[in-house]
Each structure stands twice: as C-alpha cells, then as structure tokens.
Structure 1
Amino acid sequence: MHSPDRIDCLILRELQQDARLTNQELADRVGLSPSPCLRRVRQLEQAGIIEGYRAVVSPRAVDLPITAFVRLRLASHEGATVDAVEERLRAIPHIVEAHLLAGDWDYLVRIVTSSFDAYERLLREHLRAIPSLASIDTTFAFGVTKPVSALPLDAR
C-alpha cells in the first residue's frame, strides 16, 4: 500500500479543492515540474487513494431540496440477509450515502428527494420492502451548516 508523503498530501489537498486543475497548475502549486506531478497523481490513483473525480451538484438546483437521514435497524444479522439489504440500498438511486454503524442502529442513509410526498413514496415502495428491517427512523435536514469537505490531510 502506498503511504502518501508530504508532496502527495499537498497534491491531494489541492485536488480536493479543485479537481479540474491542469497538471501544470497542480505542479506549480505543489512545487514540482509537470512530469513528476503527473506520475505522482497516477500512482495515487493506482493505489486507490484517489478513488475518482466528481462534480458537486447543488441538490436544490436539480429539484432535490429534501434531505432525509434515515436510520435502519435489522431484525437479522445473518450474512445473506446483510448482503441482500446492502444490495437493495445500493440499488435505490435516491440513497446517495449509506453507512454501516456500530451501536443501536445498523445503517445510516442519506436520501435526497424532490418533496415530502416523494420521500413517503420511496419509504413505502422501497425502504419498507427491504426484507428483515426491524425499524426505520427518519430525520429531515433543514439546511447544511457544513457541506461535504476535503479530508484534513496534514503535509507530512
């Protein structure tokens, strides 16, 4: 496994802020020439440290203003049951994040929808149809006080 050094951390910090930087701009910001910079970026990609590149889309701008955080508890924790639940969660497009938890709840999922009615339909048609769910608890977000942000990488 590749362990990021100080320069790698600088590269990662810059790319987390703006993944559209040209290689030349990135190289200038981290104090490398373009060839070694590109080589390091490719190594970070191959090592799985950089998992991909995405555009950050405003949910409101695409008519998905409702965010629900939903906690799920399973009735059974058998391997096949857990696999089936996770497969169903991944198949629901409005679930944009799903986390396996320790503690009272088994999963925390983030759902975006166009309306409360759309959330209710999703709940009835998709979530409640997942086998072996013992309970579902929903909390709606009124706003975002800190959006998803860059990982806090220290330059080593």
Structure 2
Amino acid sequence: MDDADRRILRALQKNPDLTMRELGEETGLSHTPCWRRLAKMKESGIVEERRFVVNPAAVGFEIVFFCQVRMKEHSREGLNAFEAAVKHIPAVNQCYTMTGDHDYILRVLARSVEDYEKTIKNSLMGLPNVAALHTSLTLREVKNSSSVPL
C-alpha cells in the first residue's frame, strides 16, 4: 500500500459516497487508477465493504448496553457454540473476545430498559456455556467511528 492508496482510503472513510470522478479529484488521481486501486484493495481484503450506517436512536433503539460475559468452560466446542448462538440475536450488534476477567463483551441495542431485560432473560441467559453476565448501561456516546487512522 502506497501513499495514493492511503489518500483513497482516507477520502472514502470521510465520504464513502464519492463517485470515482470525485474520488479522483479528492486524491489527485484520474478515475481509472482510483477504480483499479480500489478494486485491488477490495480483492486483497484491505477494503471489506461499503456500509450504510443507521442511527439506532433515530429508529427507536435509544439505549446501548455493554454486557461482559464469563464462560463456564473454555473448550473449543463451548466457545464455538456460544459464538454461533450470539450471532443470531438481533439486539447484539457487536461481539468481541476479551482478555481479563471476562471472555466476551457484547454491545446490545434496546428500545427501553424493559426491552433489554427481555433480551437478557430470553436470549443472553440461555446462550450456551454462559457462567455470568455483567451489564453496564451507557449514558451517552462520546465517539463512535469505524475509521482507521492512515
């Protein structure tokens, strides 16, 4: 990856809706090299996808919780079963494995505290291999970015 690739990525992180012509103007390249470079970065896995981001609060998901999960046991089968099951819970929109006292952290969207309680009781507590859940309610979002510093 060279400086031209970085310019392309920086421009698209700021505005993923740029046309190839606009991207060329922004980066100092013509649209054909921009297109070729972007295609190559997609093929190599540098660029995964363009996303359409929905504001959760604007569609009724006013509350964000983080839920730390501790597992009963750490066998491959137990962890795989948990990961497969958590992928099917729509309210969980992010899941990461962790080091430290907890094994996973989940970002959970909810319309209300009652809605979150239902998610806990009906979905999260029933996940395979879960020993304990520790939940924190967010008060407000300070920063939320998927940009990579290039």
Task: Return the offset for 1:149.
Answer: 4.2
State the partner residue of 1:23.
Answer: 20
Q: CA separation in 1, counterparts of 2:59 and 2:105?
A: 24
In the alignment, structure 1 residue 148 sits paired with structure 2 residue 150 = no
Quick one: distance in 1 between partners of 2:82 and 2:146? 28
What's the secondary structure of 2:87's corresponding residue?
helix
Pair 1:63 & 2:60 matched = yes
Query: Are 1:48 and 2:45 an aligned pair?
Result: yes
Provide the TM-score with structure 1 as the length reference: 0.93
* Equivalence for 2:125: 128
Given candidates 78, 82, 98, the residue that maps to 1:101 is: 98
Equivalent-residue separation in structure 2 for 1:5 and 1:43 (angstroms) = 12
Render the CA deviation track for 1:97-143: whole Å, top value 9, x for unaligned: 10111111100110001111110000001100012111100001111
- Give unpaired runs (5+ residues) of structure 2: none
Unaligned runs of 5+ in 1: none
CA–CA distance in 2 between the matches of 1:129 and 1:148? 31
Shift of 1:65: 0.6
CA RMSD of aligned residues (A): 0.9
Q: Which of 30, 33, 38 in structure 1 is aligned with 2:30?
A: 33
Aligned to 2:86: 89
Q: Secondary structure at the match of 2:132?
A: strand
Q: Please give the alpha-carbon distance, in whole angstroms, between the structure 2 residues aligned to 1:106 and 1:119.
A: 21
SS in 1 for 2:93: strand
Q: Distance in 1 between matches of 2:128 and 2:146?
A: 34
Cα offset for 1:20?
Answer: 0.5
What CA deviation, in whole Å up to 9, does each residue of 1:50-79 have, x standing for no partner?
111112211111000110001000011111
CA distance in 1, matches of 2:122, 2:140: 26
| TM-score (norm: length of structure 2) | 0.97
